[in-house]
Amino acid sequence: MRLWSLHPKYLDPQGLVALWREALLARAVLRGETKGYRNHPQLDRFRSDADPVCAMDAYLASVHAEAVVRGYSFDRSKIGAVEMAVKLPVTDGQIAYEWRHLLQKLAPRNPPLHERWRNCDGPECHPLFVVRPGQIEPWERPLDGPGARRAK
C-alpha cells in the first residue's frame, strides 16, 4: 500500500488509479470494515488524527479532485463529507524520499511524465499534509538503506 504524501498531480494514470483503490482500502480498514492491512504502517499517520476516517476522506477528496481534472470517473459517493481543515504533518525528508521513489517508477513506466517532472526542485505535497523539517517518517519502509525491503 502506497498512500503518497506527494500531490496526486504527479502520478501517472496507473499510479492515480492505484492510489484511489489503495486509499479506499485504507478507509475501509480505518472504519473496521476489513481484516486485512489493519497494522499497515502508513495508516499510523491517519490514526494520529482525532478522526482518522475524516482525515482519510480529506485525503481521498484531493485524489478525486485530480481525477476530475483528468476526466476520470472516480465515484465520489465512496467517500464521506470532507472537512479540509484537517492537516497532518509530513517531513521534508519523507517528501524527498517519495519524490525519488516516484521518479524511479515513472522512468520506465511513463518516460514523458518522468521527463516532465524529473527537474522539479520542490514537489508539492498532497493538500492534506503540511511539511515540517525531518527525516523519512518512522512508518516508511525504505527500498534502500538500513532496514530496506525489496522492490516489487
pLDDT given for residue 82 in this prediction: 83
- Domain assignment present for 82: yes
Quote the Cα angle for 65-67-69, to 5°: 70
User: What's this model's pTM, rounded to 2 decimal places?
Assistant: 0.88
pLDDT given for residue 61 in this prediction: 95
pLDDT given for residue 143 in this prediction: 67
- Domain assignment present for 146: no
Domain count, the chain: 1
pLDDT given for residue 37 in this prediction: 74
Helix axes 13-30, 52-70, angle to 10 degrees: 160
- Domain assignment present for 145: no
Question: Which range of residues forms the domain containing residue 60?
Answer: 8-132
- pLDDT one digit per residue (tens) for the chain, 152 residues: 689 999 999 999 999 999 999 999 999 999 999 877 777 878 989 999 999 999 999 999 999 999 999 999 999 999 988 876 679 999 999 999 999 999 999 999 999 999 999 998 889 999 999 999 999 998 887 766 544 444 43
DSSP secondary structure, 28-73, as one string:
HHHTT--STTTT-GGGHHHHTSSSHHHHHHHHHHHHHHHHHHHT--
